[in-house]
Amino acid sequence: MSRLDRLLVALVGLALAGVTVLLWRPAQQGAWAEVLVGAEVVRRLPLDHAQRIEIGGRLGTSVLEVAQGRVRFVDSPCPGKLCVHAGWLRHTGESSFCLPNGVGLRIAGLHEVYDAINF
């Protein structure tokens, strides 16, 4: 490898490191959870207030729990229970949906965060 090749590799490495530092954003704690039934937001739950709520959907009732700045599905009438297995959500941009029941959770905050599945 020649000197010029080494210089080029070093410059590309520095450029990648610089872009990473400029664009990387740490996960931010969400301020509230939006509860969706279908495509409509039906409730806004503050994450600093512990509570357990029931939301009716297409198949029946989904149970949601808010505690210690996070939210989760506790139970839902869907067959696979993927929404329950998703666990706790706490960072802005995280979401979990019970598609068969048509109920969803989305964490929101003051600064929205987008990832590869949002557009």
Beta bridge partners of 35: 43, 105
Q: How high is the mean pLDDT of the chain?
A: 89
Residue with the bigger pLDDT between 27 and 73: it is 73
Does residue 94 sit within a domain?
A: yes
CATH code at position 85: 2.60.320.10
Over pLDDT 90: what percentage of the chain?
A: 69
Does residue 39 sit within a domain?
A: yes
Does residue 61 sit within a domain?
A: yes
Does residue 55 sit within a domain?
A: yes
Range of the domain at 71: 32-108
pLDDT at 119: 47
Does residue 49 sit within a domain?
A: yes
- Express each pLDDT in 56-106 by its tens digit: 999 999 999 999 999 999 999 999 999 999 999 999 889 999 999 999 999
Does residue 81 sit within a domain?
A: yes
pLDDT at 18: 86
Does residue 116 sit within a domain?
A: no
Number of domains in the chain: 1
Distance (Å, whole) CA 28 – CA 69: 12
- With beta carbons less than 8 A apart as the criterion, state whether 70 and 90 touch: yes
* Least confident among 4-8, 49-53, 94-98, 115-119: 115-119
